[in-house]
Structure 1
């Protein structure tokens, strides 16, 4: 056997070994890759419900920015609206990527957490359909009509309740969601909203008020 022929055989063997190793790694990666969430999963349920929850926070924040000139409250409202609008876009994008509907007919809010329905303590049909911490239509109407210090206090109280509900939902995702990036987002929501609740408590105290609960 010539040296050149021997080198060729060695090269082929090495190539086959490399290819086999690559196939093994690729197969392992496919086996470890998480399955796409189903429509009934906690991942999909959290993405849908928190998108709705976030949308109300964005709406409340835009309302108060038009009802007060206070720099601190307007800055907080802008931060909340910007953060939650971006997070909402991420969650809706995941639903698109997973090929799942953004609204699941026949599924009650919070079913993915085993709650069967949302609710914030209200007894009417509207209130019974709300998720934890969400403001009622009457509360949203009050915020639209208020101005100045009254609007600031009401917004801070409503948003504190809203954040408490949001933290509860995010904790559910941290425990139940299977997609790492979504669990990480949920954990970030918990930390961010808890920090904002501390700030809102200080802002309420400076206005002679306190959280409702």
Structure 2
């Protein structure tokens, strides 16, 4: 899966174009950088827990693509001279667009106390389980966790595509939606091959 490449300064004319600290642009950049970091972490974990080439190739593609995108998001925050952390709840920037998420818990009901900060993110308990799993068990758990993760990421990226004002960031978000939806289809097939499916 090829990474979406956009020059950091593209479409940013200078201070006048800098988003506000509490804007959707800044919020998405901060939150998706955190979201992507966990996807990279899970992908490196499963790479060492299975010898299956299809799962290892998918994990490599996800880790490579999302690490590159994370660098772009953090680069924009630097360019905009905005902090990489916020006092606002995770995903609070989506509330202005009627997305209906206040940053507490996730789509599957996990609470932030176990480390699940945003839609689809795995908890600390789930990450620990993945790190202990081997072979087919690790493959299935990774594919299930990453399916939830991608679904949350798609929701967030669609939110930025609707709410963000910076053209290159909207373009990146739209690219994330397309790429992650394609990977969701692939992960569903890989789960089916293993006699499993996404988590309810």
Please tell me whether residue 48 in structure 1 is matched to residue 30 in structure 2: yes
Within-5 A mapping of 1:41-80 = 41-80=23-62
Say which one has the larger Rg.
1
- 1:140 maps to which residue? 127
Preserved contact between residue 122 and residue 128 of structure 1 (Cα < 8 Å): no
Structure-2-length-normalised TM-score: 0.86
Aligned-residue Cα RMSD (Å) equals 1.7
The verdict on how the C-alpha distance between 1:125 and 1:133 changes in structure 2, with shifts beyond 3 A counting, is closer
CA–CA separation in structure 2 for the residues paired with 1:100 and 1:186: 19
Runs of 4+ in structure 1 deviating by more than 6 angstroms, as ranges, are: none
Please tell me whether residue 110 in structure 1 is matched to residue 110 in structure 2: no
- 1:39 maps to which residue? 21
Within-5 A mapping of 1:77-116 = 77-104=59-86, 106-114=87-95, 115-116=101-102
- Which blocks of at least 5 consecutive residues in structure 2 are unaligned? 1-12, 96-100
Shift of 1:108: 0.5
Count matched residues.
Answer: 181
Structure-1-length-normalised TM-score: 0.81
Shift of 1:117: 1.2
Within-5 A mapping of 1:1-213 = 35-104=17-86, 106-114=87-95, 115-120=101-106, 121-122=108-109, 124-127=111-114, 130-213=117-200
- Greater shift, 125-134 or 67-76, is seen at 125-134
CA–CA separation in structure 2 for the residues paired with 1:56 and 1:84: 10
Shift of 1:116: 2.5
Preserved contact between residue 115 and residue 122 of structure 2 (Cα < 8 Å): no
Which has a greater percent of helix? 1
Shift of 1:44: 0.1
Q: Secondary structure at the match of 1:77?
A: helix
Shift of 1:109: 0.1
Preserved contact between residue 67 and residue 147 of structure 1 (Cα < 8 Å): yes
CA–CA separation in structure 2 for the residues paired with 1:185 and 1:133: 20
